[in-house]
A and B are shown apart, each in its own frame.
Chain A
Amino acid sequence: MSSNRKRLPVGGRISREVPLDFTFDGRKLIGYRGDTLASALLANGVTLVGRSFKYHRPRGIFSAGPEEPNALVTLGIAGRREPNLPATTLELANSMDVESQNRWPSLAFDVQSVNGLLAPFLSAGFYYKTFMGPTRRAWMFYEHFIRKAAGLGRAGTGPDPDRYEVRHAFADVAIVGGGPAGLSAARAAAAAGARVALIEQDFLLGGQLLAEPSDSAAAAWLRQAEAELKGFETVVLMKRTTAFGSYDGNVIGLVEQRDPTGPKPNGEARQTVTMLRARSIVFATGAIERPMVFSNNDRPGVLLASAARTYLNRFAVLPGKKIIVATTNDGAWRTAFDYAAAGAEVTVADLRAVPPAALAAEAARLGVMIRAGTRIVDLHGGHAVRHVTLNGPEGQSSAACDLVCVSGGWSPTVHLTSHLGVKPVYRDDIGGFVPGAFPAGRLGAGAMIGAYATADAIEDGHRAGIDAAASGGKSAPVPAPAKLDLGDTATTLLREAPSVGHGKAFVDFQMDVTTRDIELAHREGYESVEHLKRYTTLGMGTDQGKTSNFPALAAMAALRNATIPETGVTTFRPPYTPVAIGALAGRAIGHHFKPIRRTPMHDWHMANGAEMLEVGLWMRPYFYRQSGHDVNEAYVAEMRNVRQAAGLMDISTLGKIDVQGPDAAIFLDRVYANGFAKLAVGRARYGVMLRDDGIVFDDGTTTRLAENRFFMTTSTAKAADVLSRLEFLLDTAWPDLRVAVTSVSDEWAAMSVAGPNSRAILNAAFPALDVSDAALSHMGLLESGWGGRALRILRLSYSGERAYEVYTGATAGEQLWSRLLEAGRPFDLKPYGVEALGALRVEKSHVAGPEIDGRTTLDDLGLGRMAGKRSGFVGDVLRRRPALRAPNRQRLVGLECIEDGKRLRGGAILFLPDEKPYGHGRGRITSVTFSPERGHYVGLALLAGDVAAEGSEVVAVYPMKAETVRARIVSPVFLDPQGERLHG
């Protein structure tokens, strides 16, 4: 077949001098710049484009916009594969490779079209009534085949090589829709002085004006309007941009397609999502034409009347020469006239008994045949339409044709306003739903509020533009807009009743929902609109029922003998048209999905053999490879070195909070379960905070730097929560306390020198400092400097050894780290990682995350005496609730493994030796380590108080490894219970 055989030699908004090659199912075809894929296919005489969801019916192109239910295709391969794209919104580009989908083995011969013959058994919801036996899991068997048959296109198979962006934008006035109303609104708002963003989904501005001949008055008006807007520096024209959702806070979500015909500089985003915040929004989203319902109304060759006109006038495609225009309203007559003028033989079948005289006169002038009071009842043809059966005052007749244009009226596009809960209301005079009352800052204009005539839409947009600008305080005088009267008066007064012929009459083309399905849903009581949708899957396709919702509602209303408003309205959900998930993710992919937090000493760790572990978002040394070939070997070596010589640990990730003010001591006294008021200046104290409900929240040390100044550390995980909590208490509970809290987490690098050699190492590193026990005793503070930088040394221990926490300014962290290592070399100072740290603390029974799990109390953790008889601190009252005081609550115990060659594991469930291991047991192991000191595994456990006597045995059961091991309950302090090593 010759290329572009349906293309007219002149006219349209295509660039005949820029041909574009593309393929469809491997066939090489040519279109032109300015085409959509749909117009290019039609121009090449391709009528069969896709297969429907359920019956695999042959389908063609039905619309010229995002409402397209039928012509879905797949683009690209591998990671670029993109299924289910409407051909009607795809801007044609060179070398586009297009595949049809949901067919096998080929589009023309699809095996599953046999489903159409089985249709009587595949009625709406048939699957709810069967596939329940013979066995309990029978559904899993049937489901396998159903899933294979369902779905449309296939997803990509790898990561997407293209890039996406998410950006933020602001405007005084956002205008959604670049048709006559939107253009007029943009001009008015800009002239009034507002910053305007005009959003248009198409690659051309104009909306329905693009369906007018390219040499018409409408085209001239459009040129002028666009030129005027380009003259405003304050107007941003966003073409190829869909407003996909309207959100709270006057935020609209936009997705912009890259110009597929333009150059592709490296890295330009394929799509950009914009979160546009506007003071006011004008919705000028237009209206969508409705189909008509009759037998076989889904065949290729049936087009919406306005779409047919668009293909003719915008794309210079004459898809048929013998045309039936079936309509309920005036608008479609313009299609008939234009096709007649283009040389086609046209018959108008108008459902109305007496069409307007002016239209009849024009029809007569152009030789258009009129069949008044007539409808199509059946259509014949397979992959293309051949003839239709008409029924009218003269009875039934057959009419040959190669194109059928239908118009069942118009539905205002109220999706975006519905997203925000503006309920659509039915207007009988236009036979459609328009938005109900708009909230402040949002306006509607043009066809979407029922102003269908172009002249009205322009006037309407003008008013909305002025009002929108004014609500943001911009009200410079605005000259009147240029007028354009196309004589396209208000339309659609007739509601069509579906006609029932012999074949299937489709309401939802994509989901294959027919009038019979709606009847069945009604018969079975699924008669609310939502039940209808859910039972029949109506409106659930990629088009979200843009063309089917209203006809379905009308059909159900007729069955229920109710009005349309009584029958209801469906709720529209974002997005308006489908949005690629990758576009929403933007650049937050791969390594950029979440930030990575690195300590000041990170580079050193990386350069010196650290195996890193991510904790929260922090990268921390897990262990150092020179300590051992795997983590188990390394951590034991590292902890041994700490106990025997000294270790250096990066603890910069700790939360650090500066607490200042005359009431700082009182404040800390209230937020910690243990007292801080009497803490002496220069001393540190371990503290535990509770939540208001009495459960342990976090722990850390706080040091009194001065009378009114404290330095608090928190756990790494809770740093942000603790700070926020402190601020909350100061702002909302105790505003009378004169205290300020400030995070200094990122200001300080911190490292711990632990082990018997630690004091000697500090001595060597800072010969001028006095770090003798007299000058710096356990829990003491020493503030000094080194090389002009701050130096803060706290003598604290987590490992149970003599240890010092050394702080300096973050930028000097690595230098100090190296200096300590250098000074420590003669003393066998080696770095150690978090695994060794965890092991060291288990041996000393210091609780951490596994024990402070958000469910344990002070008493559970054996820390009850810290609070002593105190009261008045956060969480004190509710920690006294009976269940939190019950004697058999699980509490912290030590366990040691008493079976040779076996080990303990965290997460093992504890049972008594003589009981059947079933249920939740008596407790669980929370943390374990191999103890080099004791030569076997030891662990911490939470165990029911009534069976937790030291010396008795429990069995630790770990079904995931089929392990059962005996353990003895011991004091949780496995090492140096007297704490002598702190001073060793």
Chain B
Amino acid sequence: MLRIECPCCGPRDHDEFRYGGDASVTRPAHDDPDPEAWYRYVYIRTNPAGPHREYWQHVTGCRQWLVVERDTRNHAVASVDFARKSTLRKSPA
């Protein structure tokens, strides 16, 4: 079991969470008409063997989407934060 320290609920087994994939990709603005940008967002993944920023939602807990930084080689979790916070940081607008 991975153990994820939910900022709301404390450390929990990963199977309380729903995985949401790579969090380092940038979602285009909702009205961005550029197919290339959407193609890259939906399909292209760096898929690193190493630290990976990824989304997890605490579905059986607080239901918050989180950004977890985890090493894909050994599953060591370096950080957990609310996705909302890191999204707002990423796009100050």
Contact = CB atoms under 8 A, between A and B. Distances in A.
6 contacts: A248-B3, A249-B1, A249-B75, A277-B1, A439-B76, A731-B82
A445 B3 CA distance: 25
Nearest to A669: B30
Interface in A724-760: 724, 727-728, 731-736
A980 interface: no
Contact of B75 (A248, A724, A727, A736): A248
A145 to B, nearest CB: 44
B27 A877 contact: no
Interface stretch (A392-400, A512-520, A867-875): A867-875
A248 B64 CA distance: 23
Interface in B38-85: 38-39, 41-42, 55, 57, 59, 63-65, 74-76, 82-84
B87 A735 contact: yes
Nearest to B35: A877
A86 B5 CA distance: 41
Contacts of A249: 1-3, 13-14, 75
Contacts of A111: none
A735 B41 CA distance: 18
Chain B CB count within 10 A is highest, among A420, A421, A439, A724, for A724
Given A277-B3, A871-B31, 16 more contacts: A247-B1, A248-B1, A248-B2, A249-B13, A251-B3, A420-B74, A421-B74, A728-B57, A731-B57, A731-B64, A732-B83, A733-B30, A734-B30, A877-B32, A877-B33, A877-B38
A59 B60 CA distance: 53
Interface of B: 1-3, 13-14, 18, 20, 23, 27-28, 30-35, 38-39, 41-42, 55, 57, 59, 63-65, 74-76, 82-84, 87-88
Given A249-B1, A249-B2, A731-B65, A878 B84 contact: no
Chain B CB count within 10 A is highest, among A439, A731, A736, for A731
A439 B42 CA distance: 35
Contact of B3 (A250, A735, A874): A250
Contact of B30 (A421, A731, A873, A878): A873
Nearest to A251: B1
Given A728-B55, A877-B35, A733 B1 contact: no
A724 B39 CA distance: 22
Contacts of A881: 35
Chain B CB count within 10 A is highest, among A248, A720, A872, for A248
Given A249-B2, A878-B42, A724 B35 contact: no
A732 B59 contact: no
Contacts of B39: 878
Q: Is the interface of A mostly helix, strand, loop or mixed?
A: loop
B34 A877 contact: yes
B75 to A, nearest CB: 4
A250 B13 CA distance: 11
Contacts of A872: 30-31
A871 B83 contact: no
Contact of A878 (B2, B14, B23, B38): B38
Nearest to A248: B75
Contacts of B87: 731-733, 735
Chain A CB count within 10 A is highest, among B30, B41, B42, B87, for B30
B86 to A, nearest CB: 9
B38 A728 contact: no
Contacts of A248: 1-3, 74-75
A651 interface: no
Contacts of B42: 692-693, 878
A240 interface: no
A934 interface: no
A668 interface: no
A251 B75 CA distance: 13
A880 interface: yes
Contacts of A732: 20, 23, 27, 55, 65, 83-84, 87
A275 interface: yes
A57 interface: no
Interface of A: 247-251, 275, 277, 420-421, 439, 670, 692-693, 720, 724, 727-728, 731-736, 871-874, 877-878, 880-881
A727 B63 contact: yes
A881 B34 CA distance: 11
B71 to A, nearest CB: 11
Which 3 A-B pairs give the minimum distances between C-beta atoms? A249-B3, A872-B31, A731-B65
A177 B24 CA distance: 43
Contacts of B83: 731-732
A736 B65 CA distance: 15
Contacts of B57: 724, 727-728, 731
A249 B87 CA distance: 27
Contacts of B76: 439
A247 B13 CA distance: 12
A277 B4 CA distance: 13
A156 to B, nearest CB: 30
Contacts of A724: 18, 57, 59
A873 B27 CA distance: 13
Nearest to A731: B65
Nearest to B14: A249
A41 to B, nearest CB: 40
A975 to B, nearest CB: 38
Nearest to A872: B31
A420 B74 CA distance: 8
Contact of A728 (B20, B41, B75): B20
B35 to A, nearest CB: 5
B1 A735 contact: no
A277 B3 CA distance: 9
Contacts of B20: 728, 732
A727 B57 CA distance: 9
A670 to B, nearest CB: 5
Contacts of B64: 731
Contacts of B13: 249, 277
A701 to B, nearest CB: 23
Contacts of B88: 735-736
Contacts of A251: 1, 3
A731 B18 CA distance: 14
Nearest to A873: B30
Contacts of B55: 728, 732
Contacts of A728: 20, 55, 57, 65
A249 B65 CA distance: 20
A727 B23 CA distance: 15
A596 B1 CA distance: 26
A873 B64 CA distance: 23
B65 A727 contact: yes
Nearest to B85: A735
A551 B75 CA distance: 33
A670 B65 contact: no
A736 B57 CA distance: 19
Chain B CB count within 10 A is highest, among A248, A720, A732, for A732
Nearest to A250: B3
B30 to A, nearest CB: 5
Nearest to A670: B30
Contacts of A735: 84, 87-88
A421 B71 CA distance: 14
A803 to B, nearest CB: 33
Contacts of A670: 30
A247 B1 CA distance: 6
A421 B82 CA distance: 30
Contacts of A871: 31, 33
A693 B2 CA distance: 30
Contacts of A736: 88
A880 B35 contact: yes
Contacts of B35: 877-878, 880-881
A880 B20 CA distance: 25
A248 B13 CA distance: 10
B50 to A, nearest CB: 14
B68 to A, nearest CB: 13
A421 to B, nearest CB: 6
